[in-house]
Amino acid sequence: MTTGDERAVRPGGVTSNPYPLGLRLHGRRVVVVGGGAVATRRVPALLDAGADVLLVAPELTPALQARADAGRLHWVPRRFQPEDLDGAWLVQVAIDDPMAAASVSAVAAERRIFCVRADDRTAATAWTPAVTRHGPVTVAVLGGGDPRRAMTVRDAVRDLLAVRLAPDGIAVAPSRPDAATGATGGRQTGRVALVGAGPGDPELITVKGWRLLTEADVVVADRLVPGLLLDELRPDVELVDASKIPYGPSRAQEEINQILVDRALAGASVVRLKGGDPYVFGRGGEELLACASAGVPVTVVPGVTSSIAAPAAAGIPVTHRGVAHEFTVVSGHLAPDSPASLVRWDALAGLHGTLVILMGLKNLAAITATLIAHGRSPQTPAAVVQEATTGTQRVLRSTLDAVAADALTADLRPPAVVVVGDVVNALDG
């Protein structure tokens, strides 16, 4: 039983506030009794905290079974016995049967082990809060016995934290104008994050990428980065449009590397925002090396790559059971007969699986002709997906022998992904 305010009534009728703690469970035994849905939800956070989890349950859900099989927890495949609590610091009772749960709590109480009860919060000696994590910060909310209230408050806090928090967990003032101007003033070296922005839909950035973006002092963005992500930056953030750097491609890359290094050495948190995934034809490796050799700490946040997302957005799975057991992602920016090409088109023609071609529109006629010349069937389904996951997405379906001409007729333009293989029609009724 709980009251309407932030307090809970104990069985004896005494009202008291819970006392919050952050348990440091690394290497410490936590016993979870039960192997169903509740345990499945509780166990990951315990493992994340490094706890030595002993799971006592006659049966496990497949998710828990997988963790047991992987050796991430110890599973005792039977009902609870008192000696299961030997050496335990905490016990979580995740079973429905109130009698069985009460007997576990009784043993825990006898041994002075805190006990969380999924079946009866008022009988528990500890409550699990609603949690949000933001980098190193953990916010835990107890709702006075009402988990939904705790979740509502937690969600509000999470939204607030997403607005502004420095990577080291210290909230900083919303404006740091000197960070971007090269004034060192004895400040520490900043950092660079190479962040994948996803294929186009601004919601397809990762949670981590989004957090770093909201924390950045400087954002260096590519042409293919979703504009809406940039719209939401704070006004004091320095935005460098990498596509406007007025040199040839290799000089421009050097220039970008220099901007990343200079700003970080001046103390700024720099996000290098790249379309899709930073390491898929994104020159992310070069930027990482440039930062590393200048002594700038750099992290990589993978992104949703257009090579998988563009087909998906057109209803094409890159693999499908019984249809394709492989997918190959290849750049088509050089013609197949170009001496500089690193792609074995003849060998690719011999594969049965899915071929995903990026930057291939310009050379599509030569590419498809080469694939057919080396044995891929001219009737192989093929599709082109332009501006995938955006409001202007276009999809063209064709066959290998016709797709280049069809794309021309339809006036398809970059950015576009070409998909070749039976998966193109795999989900058609």
The answer to whether 220 contacts ligand SAH (rule: CB under 6 A) is: no
Region of 14-22, 67-75, 137-145, 302-310 interacting with ligand SAH (CB under 6 A): 302-310
Cross-strand partners of 251? none
Residues 251-280 that bind ligand SAH (CB under 6 A): 274-277, 280
**Paired tokens of 252:** 């421009």
Is the CB of 104 or the CB of 358 nearer to ligand SAH? 358
Is the CB of 88 or the CB of 280 nearer to ligand SAH? 280
Is the CB of 257 or the CB of 307 nearer to ligand SAH? 307
Q: How far is the CB of 406 from ligand SAH (least distance, A)?
A: 16
Using CB under 6 A as the binding criterion, the count of chain residues that bind ligand SAH stands at 25
Residues 353-392 that bind ligand SAH (CB under 6 A): 358-359, 385-389
**Paired tokens of 223:** 């042409």
In the residue annotation, 208 being an active-site residue is answered as no
- Selecting among 244, 277, 362, 406, the annotated active-site residue is 244
In the residue annotation, 222 being an active-site residue is answered as yes
C-alpha pair distances (Å), 295 with each of 94, 173, 190, 191 = 49, 26, 10, 10
Can you tell me the distance from the alpha carbon of 396 to that of 387, in angstroms, rounded to the nearest whole number?
Answer: 12
C-alpha pair distances (Å), 174 with each of 50, 236, 260 = 35, 8, 21
Strand 29-33 and strand 269-274: the pairing is unpaired
Q: How far is the CB of 196 from ligand SAH (least distance, A)?
A: 7
Region of 94-102, 145-153, 171-179, 301-309 interacting with ligand SAH (CB under 6 A): 301-309
The answer to whether 205 contacts ligand SAH (rule: CB under 6 A) is: no
37's enclosing H/E stretch is helix 37-48
Can you tell me the distance from the alpha carbon of 345 to that of 169, in angstroms, rounded to the nearest whole number?
Answer: 49
Length in residues, the chain: 429
Region of 97-105, 249-257, 288-296, 415-423 interacting with ligand SAH (CB under 6 A): 415-423
Among 143, 190, 200, 202, binds ligand SAH (CB under 6 A): 200
198 within 8 A of 205, measured Cβ to Cβ: yes
Among 38, 310, 364, 366, binds ligand SAH (CB under 6 A): 310
The secondary structure of residue 203, as a DSSP letter, is G
- Selecting among 84, 119, 217, 222, the annotated active-site residue is 222
The answer to whether 288 contacts ligand SAH (rule: CB under 6 A) is: no
Region of 60-68, 156-164, 209-217, 299-307 interacting with ligand SAH (CB under 6 A): 299-307
Is the CB of 46 or the CB of 358 nearer to ligand SAH? 358
Q: How far is the CB of 314 from ligand SAH (least distance, A)?
A: 9
**Residue whose Cβ sits closest to ligand SAH:** 276
E strands within 77-201? 88-93, 114-117, 130-134, 137-141, 191-196
Cβ neighbours for 269, distance < 8 A, ≥ 6 positions apart = 166, 167, 179, 190, 191, 193, 212, 215, 216, 217, 218
Question: Count of CB atoms within 10 A of residue 269's CB?
Answer: 23
162 within 8 A of 155, measured Cβ to Cβ: no
Q: How far is the CB of 209 from ligand SAH (least distance, A)?
A: 13
Interface ranges with ligand SAH (CB under 6 A): 199-200, 224, 274-277, 280-282, 305-307, 310, 358-359, 385-389, 414-417
Active site residues per annotation = 222, 244
